[in-house]
Amino acid sequence: MKIFTTRAAVSRYIDQQKKAGLLIGFVPTMGALHEGHLSLLRSAKEQTDLVVSSIFVNPTQFNDPKDLEKYPRPVEEDISKLQKGVCDVLFLPEVTEMYSEQENWHIELDGLDNMLEGILRPGHYQGVTQIVKKLFDTINPDFAFFGQKDYQQFLIISKMVKKLRMKVKLVMCPTVREYDGLAMSSRNIYLSETERKQSLALFQALQQTKKNFNKQPLQLLKSEAICYLNQSQGIDLEYFEICNASTLEPISSKRVRNLIALVAARIGKTRLIDNMILK
Ligand code: AMP
């Protein structure tokens, strides 16, 4: 696996590979890699010729400085996981390589950044689109792979790609879960043993909603899930919504073509998100 730390060097290398006819697949991450990340790399390997990953803990997408400071950065372990896996190129820049000064530009996202996660984490998606745009400009991938786990992020990046007419094609890969259903996340390591058990309520609420989807009206599905989560020990619920999966607007009718349930909660000091496509 080749490792690059500067934009110029990785761009030059990938340019050469593209000129040689290789199809480039890109998997951006913030490191602390788990099976979820590795599944994206495997999808990239199946669909492209050269798999490029990046590890960069992007400061502009954190609205809580403490969260940024304590975000796990096990770089050596990550490199060895990537070396055993299917990654051909790792881009591992320092913050100064990606941001030379404070940057205030943002991309108009038609309000998609002011819903759900965007309300609770103001500015988060502007930070996400800033870094993903810079990474896309640097790597110039043919395909980029993202997890369904961060569903709103996928919609937002799709919007950015469309608005800026970028050539990259986006691929959404399924959420990888632990044996009991908890969605894998770099933040799961913060959970104590008790919190780890409590956090399962998120998956259970989503699963129950999906199971009852054809039997119950929407309002009841939603209120039962909220009631279940509010009664679950250790869960501090931030939102549980059933939305139009294309726009994230809350819906009142099942006639909408694609529906998704999304949830966010704090378990102790750890914030977790999850979702499930209902239709
Ligand atoms: P992160 O390192 O958290 O920024 O995530 C990097 C990429 O991995 C994003 O596209 C995430 O959606 C994806 N990802 C994170 N957790 C999972 C998971 N459990 N299953 C599938 N993809 C995931």
Question: Which among 70, 74, 36 is positioned nearest to 55, based on CA atoms?
Answer: 74
In the predicted model, is pLDDT for residue 75 greater than 90?
Answer: yes
Question: Which among 173, 170, 143, 132 is positioned nearest to 25, based on CA atoms?
Answer: 143
Q: pLDDT-derived band of residue 104, with 50, 70 and 90 as boundaries?
A: confident
**Sign for the pseudo-dihedral over CA of 156, 245, 68, 44:** negative
Q: pLDDT-derived band of residue 252, with 50, 70 and 90 as boundaries?
A: confident
User: Atom 19 (ligand 1): residue with closest C-alpha?
Assistant: 184
CB of 126 shorter than 6 A to ligand 1: no
In the predicted model, is pLDDT for residue 129 greater than 90?
Answer: yes
**Least confident stretch, 81-85, 94-98, 129-133:** 81-85
Residues 94-114 have a mean pLDDT of 92
Residues 121-134 have a mean pLDDT of 96
What whole-number percentage of the chain has pLDDT above 70? 100
CB of 155 shorter than 6 A to ligand 1: no
CB of 25 shorter than 6 A to ligand 1: no
Mean pLDDT (the chain, rounded): 97
Q: Which atom of ligand 1 is nearest to the CA of 177?
A: 19
Q: Which atom of ligand 1 is nearest to the CA of 185?
A: 16
CB of 58 shorter than 6 A to ligand 1: no
Predicted local confidence at residue 103, as pLDDT: 87
Tell me the DSSP string of 20-72.
TTPPEEEEEE-SS--HHHHHHHHHHHHH-SEEEEEE---GGG-S-HHHHHHS-
Distance 156 CA to ligand 1 centre (A): 15
| Two tokens, residue 59 | 């400061």
| Two tokens, residue 241 | 């919504």
Predicted local confidence at residue 185, as pLDDT: 98
In the predicted model, is pLDDT for residue 101 greater than 90?
Answer: no
Q: Write down the residue that tokens 């991938």 correspond to.
A: 141
* Tens-digit pLDDT profile for residues 178-223: 999 999 999 999 999 999 999 999 999 999 999 999 999 999 999 9
Q: Write down the residue that tokens 């500015």 correspond to.
A: 123
Predicted local confidence at residue 85, as pLDDT: 80
User: Atom 8 (ligand 1): residue with closest C-alpha?
Assistant: 37
Burial class (CB in 10 A: 0-12, 13-18, 19+), 255: exposed
Report yes or no: 167 and 116 within 8 Å, Cβ to Cβ: no
* Tens-digit pLDDT profile for residues 255-276: 999 999 999 999 999 999 999 9
Predicted local confidence at residue 102, as pLDDT: 84
Q: Which atom of ligand 1 is nearest to the CA of 153?
A: 12
